[in-house]
Structure 1
Amino acid sequence: MYMIRKKKTLIGRVEKLRFPTLGESVLHARIDTGAKTSSIWATYINETDDGLAVRFASLDYAINAHEAVFEHYDRVRVASSMGHQQLRYRVKLPVVIRRRRIMATFTLSDRSMQVYPVLIGRSTLNGKFVVDVSRGSPLLAEEESRSAELQKNIHEEHV
């Protein structure tokens, strides 16, 4: 018996992606092999009789006030790299990365303090993608600006 394995797609530390069910906007995502789960920026989350109502909107990013209702969702506890735990909603969404369409699980979170509105973690990458950190399309100016802003805030807190 032979197993047919689909070839793994090579991606970089930052990739452009699309969420077909959230419009055709292209977003930048941070690829993080240190993170277990994937996350997407949601600005409004409300449980209704129809399901979980979510608004994906931002002035800075390409998802423009798109709303979706998820019949199937749950809540999970997510730990940050700093050890902080948070209870988040989790949904499944189709996503296209490097012309490869997959179904992936995302936690919904406030990523307004992050450079990238989407984070792709190991659970999405496993078996489908190989990461080469020298590749990708990073938003270098935004990363440098955000890093400088965070350093300034840290300095002000300790003065």
Structure 2
Amino acid sequence: MKEKTIIGSTEFVDFGKRAQKVPAKIDTGADSSAVWASNIRIDKDGVLKFSLFGKGSPYYNGKIFKRTDYSVASVRSAMGQNQIRYRTHFWVKLGGRKIKMLMNLSDRSKNEFPVLIGRRSISGKFLVDVSRKNVRRKKPSVTASLNEEVKLNPYEFYKKYHQKGEEK
């Protein structure tokens, strides 16, 4: 039995020459993995075409990937809605190991991490130490700014966020 590699709750992943040192969130609560993809379409011959990341990403290079080995999945979004997503395999380097990972293609432009690694991809290969974070946050936490705002004037904060639409 091969020894399991310990990874943190955030890691960098490499997609070979396509993209390196891409920040990823390790989410043991998520079943599957996802990568930010744009320009997702299927041509008349049934070939799946897409670009990794999007124009706003430093990892985006505009290259169109073509895949005939893909499938679809019905995925429940964070907002509770079911969505159909295309998925395909990628060879990625994570925690010093090169592994084949099935990933959903999705618009992660609004997410802090362009890659999400779910438990199916790491099961049996890695142990997650949640006290380790190998990717530092680039932007301040929304929670921190909200706490600063509530300290300034708790009553105005309450009115702004909790009394919208209520009679005052």
Q: Give TM class, smaller chain.
A: 0.7 to 0.9
Q: CA separation in 2, counterparts of 1:8 and 1:123?
A: 15
In structure 1, the residue matched to 2:27 is 32
Is the aligned partner of 1:15 residue 2:27?
Answer: no
Q: CA separation in 2, counterparts of 1:89 and 1:147?
A: 36
In structure 2, the residue matched to 1:77 is 74
41, 44, 51: which one aligns with 2:47: 51
103, 110, 115: which one aligns with 2:112: 115
In structure 1, the residue matched to 2:84 is 87
Q: Does structure 2 retain, via aligned residues, the 8 Å contact 1:25–1:63? A: no
Identity %: 34
TM-score norm. by structure 1 comes to 0.83
Pair member with larger Rg: 2
Q: CA separation in 1, counterparts of 2:109 and 2:163?
A: 23
Partner amino acid, structure 1, of 2:141? E
In structure 1, the residue matched to 2:121 is 124
Q: SS state of the match for residue 124, structure 1?
A: helix
1:147, CA displacement in angstroms?
A: 7.9
Q: CA separation in 2, counterparts of 1:26 and 1:50?
A: 32
Q: SS state of the match for residue 139, structure 2?
A: helix
In structure 1, the residue matched to 2:157 is none
Q: CA separation in 1, counterparts of 2:60 and 2:90?
A: 14
Q: Does structure 2 retain, via aligned residues, the 8 Å contact 1:23–1:63? A: no
Change (3 A) 1:147 1:51: farther
Paired positions, count:
150
Alignment RMSD, CA only? 2.5
Q: Does structure 1 retain, via aligned residues, the 8 Å contact 2:48–2:67? A: yes
1:105, CA displacement in angstroms?
A: 0.3
Q: CA separation in 1, counterparts of 2:25 and 2:57?
A: 16
Is the aligned partner of 1:41 residue 2:30?
Answer: no
Which runs of 5 or more residues in structure 1 are unaligned? none
* Greater shift in the superposed pair: 72-81 or 122-131: 72-81
Q: Does structure 2 retain, via aligned residues, the 8 Å contact 1:43–1:55? A: yes
